[in-house]
Amino acid sequence: MPVADYKIFCEMLDRAREMKFAYPAINVTSIQTANAVLRGLAESRSDGIIQVSTSGAAHISGTYLNDMSLGAIAIAEYVHRVADRYPIYVALHTDHCPLELIEKFIIPLVEETERRRKNGLPNLFNGHMFDGSALPLDKNLEVAYTLLERMHKSELILEIEVGVVGGEEDGIKARENARLYTNPEETLEVAKKLNTLTGARYLLAATFGNVHGVYKPGNVKLKPEILKECQEMVEREYGKEARFYLVFHGGSGSSLKDIHEAIEYGVVKMNIDTDTQYAFTRAIVDHIFKNYDGVLKVDGEVGVKKAYDPRTYMAMAEISMAQRVKKAAEELKSKNKTLYGNH
């Protein structure tokens, strides 16, 4: 049962916070990229998270249908089919979903899990992310509370964001004047609102200068100490049990020092997309450049079928992306820490 159930996913999160490591949460857009994540995690002996965004899910459904909820269901069902052949646990999660797409994305996926549970089947996903960071805090938390109340009944974990991750990811672009650093007082409001739902589990993406997209090392000005302040403030007010399970968004270009410091302060999940996209595409470009006359019918020639057969370069891309997943597991200290075999 390597797609983690609720109990195992909660244990994964608890273990990561206690042992001070984080799980790679890799966005996928196809069966091939999902396979890359599974391979990279398995070769690292690391548990991890496969996740899909709204536009990534729409892409999975195909350009004709362009249906985000259908694409998300399809890739999740695929992972459920194949993951039990891998010696690690993997959780399934969705990524940034703004308010205007909740009814098209999160709600159909929650409904699918509700149907599955009525039929004695496991949950389709482990959790979903609502991104209300562009909303006033009270509205953000009002929507989050409603979602968490419903999701908890089906043993689903909610991820929310307070503060704004800069840059652009999957068509969601931060405002130019966005405040990239979460105010620790805001996290008190998160705990005050959401902790009233006894037993419900949620993840918090508190921002500390994070920026989506491509940035050279040193260009991202992170302040991980903000996470420390958030944890200390909520602990003083509500006790140690109220400390957050934090998520690190927009990590491309971050120094290893900042990543490890963020983990020290309670980051248990780090989203990775840009770097794995590049690793996947890099292998394809390398193959095409080296086999230009083979992948194209140049000057009346017929090309080389093995060179332009998609299976050739897609397999290379899968392996290349898997290598980047392995690097993430090592950097996040999740390597060789799988729970698989302990249950």
The number of C-alpha atoms within 13 Å of 297 and in the hemisphere containing its C-beta is 4
Could you tell me if residue 66 is inside a domain?
A: yes
CATH number for 204? 3.20.20.70
95 is catalytic: yes
Does the pLDDT at position 180 exceed 90? no
| Mean pLDDT, residues 156-172 taken together | 70
Q: How far is CA 95 from the centre of its chain?
A: 6
Could you tell me if residue 88 is inside a domain?
A: yes
| Of the candidates 17, 1, 8, the residue with the CA atom closest to the CA atom of residue 243 | 17
Give the pairing of strands 168-169 and 172-173: antiparallel
Could you tell me if residue 340 is inside a domain?
A: no
Residue ranges making up the domain that contains 133: 6-331
Catalytically annotated residue among 14, 84, 95, 275 = 95
Domain count, the chain: 1
Could you tell me if residue 342 is inside a domain?
A: no
Could you tell me if residue 339 is inside a domain?
A: no
Tens of pLDDT, residues 12-55 = 999 999 999 999 999 999 999 999 999 999 999 999 999 999 99
Could you tell me if residue 254 is inside a domain?
A: yes
Does the pLDDT at position 69 exceed 70? yes
Q: What is the mean pLDDT of the chain?
A: 92
Could you tell me if residue 337 is inside a domain?
A: no
58 near 93, Cβ under 8 Å?
Answer: no
Could you tell me if residue 341 is inside a domain?
A: no
Cα–Cα distances in Å, from 62 out to 66, 75, 102, 128, 217? 6, 12, 21, 22, 35
Percent of the chain with pLDDT over 70: 91
247 near 159, Cβ under 8 Å?
Answer: yes
**Helices and strands (H and E) in the chain: how many:** 13, 10
Q: Which two tokens stand for residue 208?
A: 């500390």
Sequence-distant (6+) residues with CB within 8 A of 171 are 54, 55
254 near 215, Cβ under 8 Å?
Answer: no
| Mean pLDDT, residues 246-268 taken together | 90
